[in-house]
Amino acid sequence: MFDTLNLYNFAPMSNATKNSRPLLWFHILVVYVVIQFAWWSYLMAEQNFEIYQLKSEVNLLKHESPEEIIANGNMLNSELRNKWIMIASEGTVFIVLLVLGVFQIRKSFKKEAMLAHQQKNFLLSVTHELKSPIASTKLQLQTLLKHELEREKQKEIITNAISDTERLNNLVENILLAAKIENSVFTTHKEECNLSEYITEGMNQTILSFNYKQKVKLNIEPNIFMKIDKTSFPSIVLNLFENAVKYSADNSTITLGLKKQNDNIILSVSDLGVGISDEEKSNIFQKFYRVGSEDTRKTKGTGLGLYIVNYLVSEHNGVVSVKNNLPKGSIFEVTFNSNS
């Protein structure tokens, strides 16, 4: 299945310090520019004042009438005031542009640094996710090869091996799908489908293939039809379902619902797990993002599942949202327009 959230904090402090050095040098450069600008403004002001004094002295030495001296003095004062206004205006514009530039550069730098950190953790996480089912399948096949086991035990081992292989296959498919989305080469081919039967059959097969420790309840209204891409639509259901499994306690109930409401078709997956804070609800659909609470750091995942869900839902002219499931847990709700 597709994995979603949670990134283990693998980045050591030395790397964090190293990554902060460019930002430190940028701040030093900004401070230097501000100091130079202040010094330039001071010199300009001093120069204008000196020119004003010299012109005033020249005006007095011209032996003009008092009226002419006063008129020339007023003109010099107006000229000095205009130059002060010019310096203040240019300085204000410069400071405003500098502050906006610094803010945008800091924002972009932090965004890129966070993305680089998430990508690094994704590589570490996906390496573990790929190796685990391979190692498990290898061990089970070796057990079958080296030992004479009872038929029931053989069947159990083969079932577990198939489950691990399916898990590996789903992970690879998800990574490839994310790559297609990232490179804008993903396309959909929609066709009319009995969505109720399609989801019911798919979920029943999934439940039989995997030994889930949670109770799964299907609450699906019959004969709901919709145009879907049968290749990619299962990823929406399975990613939401797997996300609920990861963050739910053993023996808790996960409910998958499908209903028609006016002109909308609503697909929902609710759980009684750890829930998602309001601060993180706006971030969980970002690529590589994983919920960072201590309750969720121990779960497996690559941070791609909900990112893919959000993209595929939009490709099917739908909207996905998340809300609290009282008294605890989360409800992911996907709303499709049945007329689209």
Number of domains composing the chain: 1
Q: Which of 327, 113, 336 is nearest to 224 (CA)?
A: 336
Q: Give the three-class secondary structure for 150.
A: coil
Q: Which residue has the tokens 């690529």?
A: 287
- Is 243 a domain residue? yes
Torsion of CA 162, 256, 187, 170, to 10 degrees: -20
- Is 303 a domain residue? yes
d(CA 92, CA 262): 56
d(CA 220, CA 218): 6
**Residue 294 lies in domain:** 191-337
- Is 227 a domain residue? yes
- Is 297 a domain residue? yes
Q: Any idea what the CATH number is for the domain that residue 333 is in?
A: 3.30.565.10
The pLDDT tens digits of the residues spanning 301-337 come to 667 888 899 999 999 999 999 998 888 889 999 999 8
Q: Exposed e or buried b for every residue in 257-277, given b needs 16+ CB within 10 A?
A: bbebeeeebbbbbbbbbbbbe
- Is 86 a domain residue? no
* Residue 193, φ and ψ in degrees, nearest 5: -150, 145
User: How many CB atoms neighbour CB 152 within 10 A?
Assistant: 8
Q: Which residue has the tokens 């081992």?
A: 157
- Is 31 a domain residue? no
- Is 321 a domain residue? yes
The pLDDT tens digits of the residues spanning 4-33 come to 333 333 334 445 455 567 777 877 888 888
- Is 46 a domain residue? no
Q: In terms of pLDDT, which residue wins out, 313 or 88? A: 313
| pTM value > 0.75 | no
